[in-house]
A and B are shown apart, each in its own frame.
Chain A
Amino acid sequence: AQSVTQPDIHITVSEGASLELRCNYSYGATPYLFWYVQSPGQGLQLLLKYFSGDTLVQGIKGFEAEFKRSQSSFNLRKPSVHWSDAAEYFCAVEAGYGGSQGNLIFGKGTKLSVKP
């Protein structure tokens, strides 16, 4: 069965420092992968997605993610974190077989805190 693992429940980084959030997936075919961000009391917003092609994907707000098939990973990175990046981040894989199209399997999320 498809699954997504985000090993880090909570990460704290200093403002201006680099960030990497880990995501590992389990999926039998070519995965469609997503990173969403959720600010407190808000819905989820798409940061970036990977369907095919270049394995380094650029997203909004200066985020990028790299798909590594050999490691079953899709880690999210940002070179310099801003205080406004404090939020919860969710990695997701789409179970894209026929009738299950659209079924996003989400990881449990990683909460990011930013120190001044």
Chain B
Amino acid sequence: DAGVIQSPRHEVTEMGQEVTLRCKPISGHDYLFWYRQTMMRGLELLIYFNNNVPIDDSGMPEDRFSAKMPNASFSTLKIQPSEPRDSAVYFCASSFPPEGGGTSHTDTQYFGPGTRLTVL
């Protein structure tokens, strides 16, 4: 398998523009996660999906951020309008459901290479 695929790898845009980040999870993984990494705040979970349904979006910073998962093989994270403070590396990760089912714990999350976003 090619692993988690993210595009673009780098994005430079101007403040106020719309930005769309894309992710293709590993085939067969039911969970998909979006993270943001900055020097100041480290790695933060933004939102995650189970079977294409958003489960927890409490980490989404504000209404300018939205995420969708129209099918099992594709997800987007959109920022509209973008601001300089959104500059960060955005990671997508996916995982199988937990062993034995239930909600007790997660399985290994496989991370994509990330999208480095710079908002000028």
Contacts and interface: CB of A to CB of B under 8 A. Distances in A.
Interface of A: 32, 34, 36, 41-46, 49, 51, 90, 94, 96-104, 106-109
A97 to B, nearest CB: 8
A102 B16 CA distance: 32
Contact of A106 (B42, B103, B113): B42
A6 to B, nearest CB: 10
Determine chain B's interface SS by DSSP, over half rule. strand
B105 interface: yes
A106 B45 CA distance: 9
A53 B32 CA distance: 27
Contact of A43 (B48, B91, B98): B91
Contact of B48 (A97, A103, A107, A108): A103
A101 B111 contact: no
Given A32-B105, A94-B106, A102 B55 contact: yes
B55 to A, nearest CB: 6
A23 B24 CA distance: 32
5 contacts: A36-B111, A42-B113, A90-B43, A96-B103, A102-B31
Interface of B: 4, 31, 33, 42-45, 48, 50, 55-56, 91, 93, 95, 98, 103-106, 108-114
A24 to B, nearest CB: 15
A94 B105 CA distance: 7
Contacts of B50: 102
Contacts of B43: 44, 90, 104, 106, 109
A34 B43 CA distance: 14
